[in-house]
Amino acid sequence: MVMIKKPFIKKNSVLCLFAFLFSLFYNANASHAGFEGDAYRSSYVCTDLKGKQRWQASVEIRHKEGNVYSIVEKMNGQYSGFDGNISWVARTDFERNKESVKPLNMDQQIFDQSGKLIVVNKQDFDYTKKIVICTHKDLIENTTSTKEFAFSKEIINRLLQGLYVQKFIENGITRKEMQVISPEPALYNIELKVIGTEPIEINGRTRNAYKLAFDPQLGLLNFVKTFLPKAYVWHSSEPIFEWLKYRGLESSVSSPQVEIISLDEDVTEPVPGPVAPANNNNTGQQ
């Protein structure tokens, strides 16, 4: 059986924020996807800094109805916070428009290496009341906890980071304040900003990329950031501004430094928008 570790990071809210940010960068690169059938699909791999693989994941995005889409991530391998290999399936329904994306819900199921369900995480967003309700169920400890958070800015969860950053770049924005809801769970104020552009090597090719950072706004505790490792994400500097790479800690401050790299080739099509209904009016022949 996989045992869930109790890392130190869960005992400190500031360190929990940084753990979340380290995971936020790479786990939703749906903007970098290839069209297969009725879904866009993508995959990526995580290695330690010596190149040893830790885990691999895939993601697909499908149009549901109107402006509503569904993104599903499937992961398998070794991940910080767990003894032994695990897998998970995480799903978010979200709305997408020209300006941004916003989550409607999230459901994550985590399994041990034998396939037994061990953890369930849920998020439900209410934009009328501006609250998100988070539920964490630990099936090993047989415990369930629920927390409610009020948000005041644009909000995203982990699965929508790639699409959110893509919209951010598309709209020519270089700095923006927003909020993120994290898995532990907690709500944080974040400044998303472009650091600059630089060439990086991806899958044996040199790509020009934007380098971005999610900068936590800690108020009086901002000085703490100078003592903690930094993490960055790179997106293509050319349309469709797809996610390319992450480098930093895998999860908590005690976790290993890793690189997560897209396994996809160039994609020039964005995730498609809703298809308008066909006009069935018969105008006849002239």
149 band by pLDDT with thresholds 50, 70 and 90: very high
Residue 242 to residues 42, 76, 113, 219, 238, Cα–Cα distance (Å): 11, 23, 32, 32, 8
Q: Give the pLDDT score at 286.
A: 40
In angstroms, rounded to a whole number, what is the distance separating the alpha carbons of residues 4 and 54? 17
Tens of pLDDT, residues 67-112: 999 999 999 999 988 889 999 999 999 999 888 899 999 999 999 9
Q: What is the pTM of this model?
A: 0.80
**Contact predicate 260/46, CB 8 Å:** yes
Amino acid letter for position 232: Y
Tens of pLDDT, residues 39-63: 888 999 999 999 999 999 999 999 9
Tens of pLDDT, residues 243-266: 999 887 787 667 788 999 998 765
256: number of Cβ within 10 Å: 16
Whether the per-residue pLDDT at 31 is higher than 50: the answer is no
